[in-house]
Amino acid sequence: MTLEPVLIIELALLGLGTGFLAGLLGIGGGMLMVPFITLIMSARGVLPDLAVKIAIATSMATIIFTSIASVRAHHRRGAVRWDIVRRLAPGIVIGSIIGSLGVFSLLKGSYLAIFFGLFVGFSATQMFIDKKPKPSRQMPGTAGQLAAGGFIGFLSGLVGAGGGFISVPFMTWCNVAIHNAVATSAALGFPIAVANVVGYIVSGLSVQGLPVGSFGYIWLPALLVIASASFFMAPVGARAAHKLPVGRLKRIFASILYVLAAYMLWKGLSSL
């Protein structure tokens, strides 16, 4: 599979959209990238099982770059809770390695797609309900945040997302302001992405039938195009995040998740 002009345009547009969302919602763009890369790969003859896995791995690899651009913009506004980042990051790295190097390589792509759809739909529902946390609730202690980080990293490794779809609701549930939660989630995207990418590369090195230009499960041509475009747009999304009201930000987050969850559920069930 070669990078013909139409494919380059498709990937570039995807990168611009996901970069903006990475900065706006702190989700790393993976919630958008995985369905669209799956669609692009499937349309070009890649087997469904491999298409989903390539999409998840390539999506995660781009988050390395979008998280850097996004967190720089949020940090300049003083929105990143670095104390939370320091406590969640060790668990995130451990959970990510377990998810991407172990469970990911053993599951069929169709099951990963179904899991992606179900969990993202659940996350969207939680955001729409917008149940107010108890005023006294705060982030758990060091051990609790280590465990929460492990859970976030593990699930991120299975679905190829930067963890914002879990970490943003978790932090807001613990009474972290939504803009701080989004900014902190963007910062957490980097350790999530690096740890998972290592796992995807190692677990995919011996897999047959991958497209030319693959490094493990990561398709490098798509990574190059998407990362270049998304790096440019992430700061734009981050600036927009500080101008939108909290309620609208949550509704945007949830609406996007519902649409993408439905597509991935259909994709997974149709390929069983």
The letter for the amino acid at 19 is G
Predicted TM-score (pTM) of the model is 0.78
Is the Cα torsion angle 30, 33, 34, 35 positive or negative in sign? positive
pLDDT band for position 58 (cuts 50, 70, 90):
very high
Contact 235, 69 (CB under 8 A): yes
As a whole number, mean pLDDT of residues 215-235 equals 88
Which tokens is 256 given? 């996007």
CA angle 123, 61, 86 (to 5 degrees): 65
Return the residue matching tokens 């609730």.
137
Q: List pLDDT tens digits, range 105-133.
A: 777 888 888 888 887 787 778 767 766 66
* Structural domains of the chain, count: 1
Residues 6+ apart with CB under 8 A from 265: 113, 114, 117, 118, 121
Between 159 and 191, whose confidence is greater?
Answer: 191
Q: Would you state the pLDDT for residue 119?
A: 77
Q: Would you state the pLDDT for residue 77?
A: 84
CA distance 242 to 77: 9
Contact 225, 8 (CB under 8 A): yes
pLDDT at residue 52 above 90? no
Q: Would you state the pLDDT for residue 225?
A: 92
pLDDT band for position 218 (cuts 50, 70, 90):
very high
Packing angle of the helix pair 142-159, 30-43 (nearest 10 deg): 20
pLDDT at residue 146 above 70? yes
As a whole number, mean pLDDT of residues 76-89 equals 90
Q: Give SS3 for 70.
A: helix
Q: List pLDDT tens digits, range 243-252.
A: 777 567 767 7
Q: What is the DSSP letter of 99?
A: I
pLDDT at residue 217 above 80? yes
Best CA proximity match to 160, nearest among 203, 193, 198 = 193
Q: Would you state the pLDDT for residue 216?
A: 92
pLDDT at residue 195 above 80? yes
As a whole number, mean pLDDT of residues 5-14 equals 88
Domain that holds residue 254: 5-270
As a whole number, mean pLDDT of residues 17-44 equals 77
CA distance 148 to 245: 27
Which tokens is 58 given? 């390539």
Best CA proximity match to 94, nearest among 215, 194, 221 = 194
Best CA proximity match to 21, nearest among 259, 215, 195, 269 = 259
